[in-house]
Structure 1
Amino acid sequence: MVNSMLNKTPLVNRLPPVHALSAFEAAARHRSFALAADELCITPSALSHRIRLLEDFVGERLFSREGRTVTLSEFGHRYLEVVRSALRTLTEFPLPQRNAQVQPRVKITAPPTFARQLLIPHLHGFASRHPEIVVEIFLSVPLYDLSLTESDLEVRFGAGKYPNTTTEKLFEEPTFAVASPGYLKKAGPLHQPADLCKASLLRSALEPWQPWFQAAGLDWPEPSSGLRADDLGLLLELVRHGHGVGLTRKHFAQQMIAQGEVVQLFDISLTSPPHAYYLVYQQKPQERPEVTTFIEWMKDTFSRI
């Protein structure tokens, strides 16, 4: 009798609400309830309600909340992969009435500085050759979220070790030290690398100092105090505004150097920095020609910069 009743239970009663799943996925991707709510065109309180609804359904906490910071719980990390797979399956299922109307599109996720300084300035080259393909750009935070989103491909800035993905290096650049003219007037001249002992060193997990110290012949540990920024663009802005000395790369700093806003210190560059830009994807791109086309354009464009 019980088995008979179970067999008659509507399937919908055993499925989580789809609007709650999309809210969970958006919040996990943005690591922010406010940004996720904005994307879904709902209020933050409505998004929080959907997350609580899903947590009640699964019986586990999906996020850990510390003030305004939102991070996935251990269960949330595991559940996120299932949810993304399900949403991707629904999104990519071919609907006969829609296929003829929908333009081919490519979704790419990239770090903010790469997107602003490199991708967008070169994107007109792709658009002029392939006007039929729609490109959608999303931002990610390097070194934090190492799981592929619903995007077709990602640009990642890191060590290039991303299991269960296809990973191709786009390019790497030498790393060198820069400071603003205003800071040099305040801190005094820095004639040689050892003079950095009297400077404020700006920190970032993306550009560690210790490898550059070794290249400069300095047996110094990684700085453990001072201003820190986990974005290369923000790090360069700190330099420009005179907060201290930072590490950067040519394609990020060349405009500021040309305009005299920052200056390169010393004639020392770390030729093989620990981090580089990589193209990362999981799906078989040959199944979608537009993705293959964009990948080939990315590799061709950024191998020549």
Structure 2
Amino acid sequence: MQLPIKAISVFHVTARAGSITRAAEELSVTPSAVSQQIRALEVQLGVSLLSKKGRRVVLTEAGERYFSAINDGFERINDATQEIRGFRTVTRLTIRATPTLSNKWILPRLQSFLDGNPEIELRLDGTNEPTDFNRELVDIEIRHGDGRWPGLFVEGLTEETFIPVCAPHYAAAGSLAADEVARCNLIHSVKAQAQWPHWFKLAGVAPASQWRRLLFDRSHMAIDAAVNGMGIALESTLMSWRELSEGRLVCPVRESHPVRLTTQWIVCPTDHLRQKKVQRFLEWIRAERIIWRQEFDAGQGAGN
């Protein structure tokens, strides 16, 4: 029997993409053409390889075994093809993350990933909009929220510590008691999970009946406003690590009463975890997380 190479290749792309629509986009064909190739392969093999789960397709047990068996072969074929051509094609990795995490934490560290993975072309999409993995060509998202997204791989980035921060010329480090904070200009990041009422409760302080507030819908704007001396922000040391380490922000309260939360989560469909480019990014960001955590625990993060 002649091997149905085209149908096998279409199945491999579909299994890796987790979506007939995404596979069709990658192959520049129609979704019906993808479905026809997979049905033809299933007829030849005598087994069902895919099943529908809502708008997604998932591998059957036979499909999982078949994909695992052929995946390494396809990667070797791809490597050999690029080697014989004398160059490597660019592999694109698309990451979606919140604007603040993109600007304040990922971007300053990104060069080490690029240096270690020169064959990967990385696209960083900074937005708060959650990814529809069935329709969008996003490999990994780092999503803001509570971590409850059934059907997806979910891993907390790290536990964050939220403390009051301000420019040293607004208030010197450790110069205020907790009850004095309520009389200052308070900068609010309105979408943040840690809010001033929570901090005042932890500090055992009743907030003022009328607050002097400045509100932003992005945490990076709140951090920059604090750096510019506009007031005191309640912000994550994960997001403001650079400003804190450079002394542009300090914790003005003698007892910081930290709010500890995990608000950023690594999210993707489980089938994306098979992709080498995804595996490499996860290895990199986990290593960066450890480095940041060690620096923070060693006292380089403010608020310890």
Report the CA distance shift for 1:271/1:226 in structure 2 as closer, same or farther (over 3 A).
Answer: closer
1:176 counterpart letter in structure 2: I
Residue identity in the other structure for 2:184: A
1:292 is matched with: 279
Instruction: Show the 5 A alignment for 1:116-135.
Output: 116-135=103-122
Work out the number of aligned pairs and report it. 216
For residue 110 of structure 1, report the CA deviation from its aligned partner.
Answer: 1.0
SS in 2 for 1:203: strand
Q: Which residue of 2 aligns with 1:9?
A: none
CA contact (8 A) 2:131 2:138 kept: no
Q: Which whole-Å CA distance do the structure 2 matches of 1:267 and 1:147 have between them?
A: 44
Mapping 1:232-251, distance limit 5 Å: 232-251=219-238
* 110-119 or 245-254: bigger deviation: 245-254
* 1:191-210 to 2 correspondences below 5 Å: 191-204=176-189, 205-206=191-192, 207-210=194-197
How big is each residue's C-alpha offset from its partner over 1:155-200, in whole Å with a ceiling of 9 and x where there is no partner?
1222222233211011122111012244349xxx962111123112
The within-5 A match list for 1:254-273 is 254-273=241-260
In the alignment, does 2:155 pair up with 1:168? yes
| Structure 1 counterpart of 2:26, from 92, 95, 109 | 92
1:176–1:265 Cα contact (<8 Å) kept: no
CA–CA separation in structure 2 for the residues paired with 1:132 and 1:146: 25
Where do residues 1-305 of structure 1 align in structure 2 (5 Å cutoff)? Answer: 88-93=22-27, 102-141=89-128, 145=130, 147-148=132-133, 149-184=136-171, 191-204=176-189, 205-206=191-192, 207-220=194-207, 226-305=213-292
Q: Distance in 1 between matches of 2:268 and 2:205?
A: 38
CA contact (8 A) 1:174 1:250 kept: yes
Aligned residue for 2:24, secondary structure, equals helix
For the residues of structure 1 that align with 2:169 and 2:242, how far apart are their CA atoms? 17
Q: Measured at CA, do residues 134 and 286 of structure 1 come closer, stay the same or move farther in structure 2, by a change above 3 Å? A: same
Q: 1:168 to 1:201 in 2, by over 3 A?
A: same
Distance 1:221 1:102, change over 3 A: farther
Moved more, 279-288 or 103-112: 279-288
Structure 2 distance, partners of 1:247, 1:239, is: 10
**Unmatched segments (≥5 aa) in structure 2:** 1-18, 30-73, 83-87, 293-304
| TM-score in terms of structure 2 length | 0.60
Q: CA deviation at 1:102?
A: 4.1
Q: Which amino acid aligns with 2:214?
A: L
For residue 114 of structure 2, what is the amino acid of its counterpart? A
Question: CA–CA distance in 1 between the matches of 2:196 and 2:220?
Answer: 17
CA contact (8 A) 1:190 1:196 kept: no
Contact 1:158–1:274 under 8 Å retained in 2: no
SS in 1 for 2:291: coil
Provide the identity percentage. 22
CA distance in 2, matches of 1:152, 1:118: 19
Partner Cα distance (1:265, 1:297) in 2? 34
2:120–2:277 contact (8 Å) kept in structure 1? yes
In structure 2, relative to structure 1, the CA distance for the partners of 1:215 and 1:222 (3 Å cut) is: farther
Q: Distance in 2 between matches of 1:251 and 1:223?
A: 30
